[in-house]
Amino acid sequence: MKRVVILSDTHGLLRPEVLEYLPQADIIIHGGDINTQAIVDKFREYAPLYIVRGNNDKEWAEGLPQSLIFSIEGIRFFLIHNMRDVPPDLSNMDVVVYGHSHKYACEERNGVLWLNPGSCGRRRFDQEITFAVMTVDGEHFQVEKVIIPHEKK
């Protein structure tokens, strides 16, 4: 069984609430818009990292891929920053992880789970501050939405 912390759109901010989850992570997935190498380095202190480049990841991130395909305990993942850049053929994929919109989404379409962990960076508009934790056990997986409380302004 693997515990996977899934984030996106941190935009240079690594909240203490996120750091609390990292010691229990077996794997970390980040859907882009990280904004600093320091955050990537911090994630790598905790667990193996699957990461893609977001539209705000500039020169420092030139070596990061635009998309990634990988497996965790037999579950096949496609990782990209913007869902509009997902290729039409998702055959053999089980989960698509994306970011960009800063809005949490978790829905099954044609047997594929589409997951946007939302944003746990700086709060944007009036949206929730969120990320996800996935438990992968063989061919089964379960997603938990994590909401970081914030003051309304």
**What's the chain's average pLDDT?**
94
pLDDT digits (tens, 9 = 90+) for 68-116: 999 999 999 999 999 999 998 888 999 999 999 999 999 999 899 999 9
- Letter for the amino acid at 130? T
CB proximity list for 147: less than 8 A, separation 6 or greater: 128, 129, 130
Q: What pLDDT was estimated at residue 153? A: 46
Q: What are the tokens at 39?
A: 């955050």
Q: What pLDDT was estimated at residue 152? A: 55
Spell out where the chain has E strands. 2-7, 27-30, 49-51, 67-72, 75-80, 95-97, 105-109, 112-116, 129-137, 140-148
Distance CA 100, CA 119 (A): 8
Name the pTM for this structure.
Answer: 0.95
Residue 151: pLDDT over 70? no
DSSP SS3 for 84? helix
CB proximity list for 43: less than 8 A, separation 6 or greater: 22, 28, 30, 49, 51
Distance CA 9, CA 145 (A): 15
CA distances from 48 to 2, 44, 58, 82, 83 (A): 12, 6, 23, 22, 24
pLDDT digits (tens, 9 = 90+) for 45-59: 999 999 999 999 999
Which domains does the chain possess?
2-148 (3.60.21.10)
Q: What pLDDT was estimated at residue 126? A: 78
